[in-house]
Amino acid sequence: MADIVVQHALGAYPVHVLRGSATRIAAAVDAAAPTGRLVVVSDDTVAALYAGPLAEALRTTAGRDVRVVTFAAGEASKSLDTARTLWSALFDAPFDRGDVIVALGGGVTGDLAGFVAATAMRGVRFVQVPTTVLAMSDAAIGGKTGVNVPQGKNLVGAFHAPEAVVAWIDTLQTLSERERRSGLAEIIKSAWIEGPDAVDQVARDAAAMAGGDLDALERGVDIAARLKARIVTEDEREGGRRRLLNLGHTFGHAIETSTGYGTWTHGEAVAAGMILAARASEAFGFADASFERQMRTIVEACGLPVEPPDLAIDEWLDPMLRDKKRSGDGVRLVLGRRAGEIFDQHVEYVHLRSWLARNRVAAPD
């Protein structure tokens, strides 16, 4: 498939969606950052599968100086404590502002390694090599980096554009079924923002993607990556249209925060959050019941949850009111009318509280 380009304030970077061996991925990384020592940052699960082959390919075919630094897999590692450990690992060996971090892994790795790159020596280059559906479709594109704190998800971070994003499609073969399906939430979200044709494509491919078919997954990643690239090019700092990419995320982040990171995966929480957003769109008079029905059908076909956990009102509202998307006396929710008509809407706190009290776990008729 043709490459995708993201424009940003300081330049541009390509998004490559690639099939092939570590040698092909190494060539793309080398082309994106042809000078400096390379530090591959990966969680211990991904590193055991892919860090060795990628590092060896970078050494033997590109002649690069490479070392690998790992951390414990899981959302709990997306923290300032892990960032400190990675900073120390960088500075305990020769490392300077001309060197490059290669983030090899999923969304946690990309956000964490990107944050370390943004802050080490006031900013060093990095390359994203995403290995999950979620990261390829969303997290690796757009320059957002960050870590979680006890008060909420992604509350500490920075914008820091990578030199390139190299989506390594072959790595999706080794994802667990739960992780693969979790990532499909971002593809579903992107299709709804893109429009009816994209929704129809994702609906046709839903079962195949959930089952791990690489051709179907590549098509889904391409839809999501192109949408993300186009939107972040238009709105790099989330001042307007980029907010649409939060469809399902305000509810989803509340689920993750209130259940404890890792109980629900990010994608599972976003999937349930999208259903709630569709339900809220109807309740607030923007959509009819067909919006939720069609979304629910696709979410179910992808093997994702369509109902949220049973949380207390404050377990919903406290994370929402600490979220970056809080707006004055309310919250900015991404709602919609139908596929391709998704919008950012201010909802007053009192109305949101009342609606959650009545409908937070109610299934549609």
Catalytic center residues: 122, 144, 186, 228, 238, 242, 246, 249, 253, 266
Residue type, 305: P
CB–CB of 134/267 below 8 Å? Answer: yes
Residue type, 357: A
**Angstrom distance (rounded) from CA 139 to CA 133:** 10
Instruction: Give SS3 for 70.
Output: strand
**Chain position carrying tokens 């667990």:** 176
Tokens of 12: 């541009």
**Angstrom distance (rounded) from CA 257 to CA 264:** 10
Angle at 296 between CA 290 and CA 300, to 5 degrees: 155
Tokens of 303: 């093997």
Residue type, 38: L
**Angstrom distance (rounded) from CA 248 to CA 294:** 15
CB–CB of 209/172 below 8 Å? Answer: no
**Chain position carrying tokens 């951390």:** 71
**Angstrom distance (rounded) from CA 178 to CA 270:** 14
For residue 182, what are the CA distances in angstroms to 48, 163, 204, 268, 272? 22, 27, 18, 5, 11
CB–CB of 5/69 below 8 Å? Answer: no
CB–CB of 245/138 below 8 Å? Answer: yes
Task: Give the DSSP H/E element, type plus range, for residue 335.
Answer: strand 330-338
DSSP code at position 137: I
CB contact set of 92 (below 8 Å; sequence gap of 6+): none
**Angstrom distance (rounded) from CA 79 to CA 89:** 15
